[in-house]
Every structure is written in C-alpha cells, then in structure tokens.
Structure 1
Amino acid sequence: MSTIPLNLESDIVVLPYPALSQHLSLDQAFKKRCSTRAFLDDTLTLDAMSALLWAAFGVNREQQGGRTAPSAHGWKEIDIYVVLAEGAYRYEPRMHRLLLVRAEDVRKCAGTQDFVAAAPVNLVYVADLARMVEVREEDRPFLAGADAGCIAQNVYLYCAAAGLATVVRALIDRRRLAHALGLPINQRITLAQTVGYAKL
C-alpha cells in the first residue's frame, strides 16, 4: 500500500477527485456493515483516503455547498480531523484537501483502546460550538452528537463497500486529544472512528 504523499513545506495534502467503489449495492453494504477492532498496519492509499473523507462529509452539491451527511440547521459544525502516523490533519471539504495541524504521530491520544495507537487512520469528529447559533446551549452537545453519528454511518457504509474495516468510538480522553490537536476552547470532540484493513 502506498502512503499519503506529504508536502511539509506547504502543510497541505491535496486529495484527488473522490472515486467511490461500485462493487457493492447499498443493500449489500448494509449487510456487510460491522464494527472491527483488529487492524493491519497497512496505510490507505491517497485515493482511498479521498473517497473515505468525501463519503464522510464531503461536498456533494457544489452550488448549495451541500454535504454527504445532514447537519442540524445547516450549521456544518463538525470538522473531521485525520490522525495518521505522519501527523494530524484537518479535512477541508470545500477544497477537498488536508491541512497539517500537528507534524507528529499522536495516534496514541486518539482513544483509550490499545488498537487505536497502531491503526492507520483515526478520524476525530470535532464540533465547533461557535457555528451553532440560535439554539439553547444545553442542546448543542446532543445536536452535534447526532450530526457526528450521521457522518460515522457514512463512513461505515463506505468502508463496507470498499473492503475496509471501521469502528466508531466514544472512549476518548477528550482533554488529552484536544491538546494534541490544538483545539480552541469553543471546539468539542464528539466521537472518533478508526479505519483500516481488518486483521483476519
């Protein structure tokens, strides 16, 4: 498997056009959808990473800025952070690219289970509370969690169709991970999701 080519001079990884697998129908993907907690060390190709992130929360309607997952009130408050051996990145859906936020391996901070630190990809769903306007403060965590859950299900279905393994996780030391990702105080980690190839 090829690794993601990193351009550390610009701290940007431009993703190729997302090409999703056509091997499975939607009903077949539902039947194959499952959680896996044993992953190979093999990295994802750049093409696979591109399709994965687009399926998760990419732009599917250019003119309206619509996304592949719903978002309460159209806030689009969830940002996806991609934690890899090479570093941690933030996904920019509009430009379909990754921006470097930490140039070191912080996978050990991405969850409390042992498999997380060695898995090739950990997606971290971060809610920017400042985008959640005209709603009671106590309702924000619930709504952000619901939006993150929709993204996680997109990832499950993409992984089922693409022959990848995944598991969504809530066992996270959120304070430690927020520090590792350099998150400001108005951003909250909702969920994380590990992706890779299943260890059989």
Structure 2
Amino acid sequence: MKKIFLSILILFFLINISFAQDTDVIKLPAPQMEIGKPLMQALKLRASTRSFDTTKLSLQHLSNLLWAAYGINRPESGKRTVPSAMNWQEYDVYVVLSKGAYLYDAKENVLKLITKGDIREYCGVQDFVKTAPLNLVYVANFSRVTRVNEEDKLLFVAADCGFIAQNVYLYCASEGLACVVRGMINKEKLPEALKLNSNQKIILAQTVGYPKN
C-alpha cells in the first residue's frame, strides 16, 4: 500500500513539474494565412485607438498578429514579414500579457516566459495600457547592428521598427482589432522587468485589443 501511495505521489510530482515547465513556453498555433480583409480595405480602416475592451485575445489571434508583425515568411532564408536593413533582424518582440511578459520566438512559433506577473503598467503612462489585454514592446539589439556609423544606425533601426508597427496596424484593421503605437513607457522599470542588457533599447510599444463598445 505504501509503495502504491509513493508511486502516485511521485507521478503527481512529475506531472506538476511538467506543467510548471510548460507554462514557461506557450506554443502558438500555426498562423492563418487565408483570412482577413483585402489590403486596400485594411489601409482604409487603419487607425489609432485608445479605448480597449479588457477581453483577452485568443492564442490564434496572438499567433496571427505576431506572424504579421515579425514572423518568418520565407523559411528557406529565415527572412521575415518586414524588411530589415542589411538583414540585421535586430528586433526582439516582447509580448506583455496580464500573466507575464514573454519573448516571441518566430522560428519555433512560441512565447518564452521572461517575467511572471502583470507588468503592463510599465508599458506606458496612459490608463488604458494597464488594462488592455496586450502590449507589444519592440526592442532593438544594437549588438546586431554593424557596418554603419552611429547616425545611420539610429535611422535604420527606427525605420525597421516602423515597418513592424505598421504590419500590426494592418492586421488589426483587417481583423477588427484596436491598436495604437506609443513612445512613452516607463524607461526605468520596463527594461528591468524585461531583463534587457546594455545593448538592448526599447524603441516603441504598441497596445492591442478589442475595441471598447
């Protein structure tokens, strides 16, 4: 009887460990390629919104959105849905949800946990940032930016970020989501919460969610 009880206890312990590990990595479903409004309609509907419902986005929406933003659309070369100066691919996209902050891994199509807990308030100064279901944080890693002078580094990195943000705008317009890109963040607490190093700099953040009725 003791052996059976011990076996059940060990099994329960192993299941719990496995579950805990699984929550550190969120596997996203494959992005849907055959959805959405035509491009010209999406451009017509593209707009900034600062009023968001608190309803969480589905994993499918999240997968589609992240692929549109910075996914790999040419697996044979590893190139992405946005242009990148000299193919630096210098950006990391951080996904800030109510339960934690994650790093988007486009190659594996997963979210990797960086920080547990709700840090949305660090992603901006406006009240809606704290309650909207999703904040994307665009982080440039300057260790990948080579072969140009300092002035051109800033110019090219800023342009590359604009491409990502615009892809998000177009996806949101196509799928009836609300979004707004922002430059104002908590410059002390957000980098610390995302565990950024000295080569990494937050360029912009973008809030996404369902429009508030």
**Normalized against structure 1, the TM-score is what?**
0.94
Give me the CA root mean square deviation: 1.2
- In structure 2, relative to structure 1, the CA distance for the partners of 1:23 and 1:147 (3 Å cut) is closer
Alignment pair present for 1:34 and 2:34: no
Deviation per residue, 1:114-158 (Å, 9 max, x gap): 110111000000000000011112332222111111000000000
SS in 2 for 1:130: helix
Q: 1:125 and 1:62 mapped to 2: Cα distance?
A: 22
Which one has the largest radius of gyration? Answer: 2
Secondary structure of the residue that 2:50 maps to in structure 1? coil
% same residue: 51
2:191 corresponding residue in structure 1: 178
- C-alpha distance in 1, partners of 2:150/2:143? 11
Distance 1:8 1:52 in 2: 26
Q: 1:131 aligns with which of 144, 148, 153?
A: 144
Is structure 2 residue 176 aligned with structure 1 residue 163? Answer: yes
Query: For residues 106-117 of structure 1, what are the structure 2 equivalents within 5 Å?
Result: 106-117=119-130
Matches within 5 A, 1:73-88: 73-88=86-101
Say whether 1:9 aligns with 2:32.
Answer: no
Match of 1:3 in 2: none
Matched-pair contact (CA < 8 Å) for 1:21–1:162 = no
Distance in structure 2 (CA, Å) of the matches to 1:8 and 1:142: 42
Tell me how far apart the structure 1 counterparts of residues 110 and 36 of structure 2 sit (CA, whole Å): 25
- Partner SS state of residue 80, structure 1: strand
Shift of 1:175: 2.5
Any gaps of 5 or more consecutive residues in structure 2? 1-18
User: How far does residue 17 in structure 1 lie from its aligned partner after superposition?
Assistant: 0.4
Question: Could you say which residue in structure 2 is the equivalent of 1:118?
Answer: 131
The CA distance in 1 between the partners of 2:165 and 2:20, in whole Å, is 29
Count of residue pairs the alignment pairs up: 194
Structure in which a larger fraction of residues adopt helix: 2
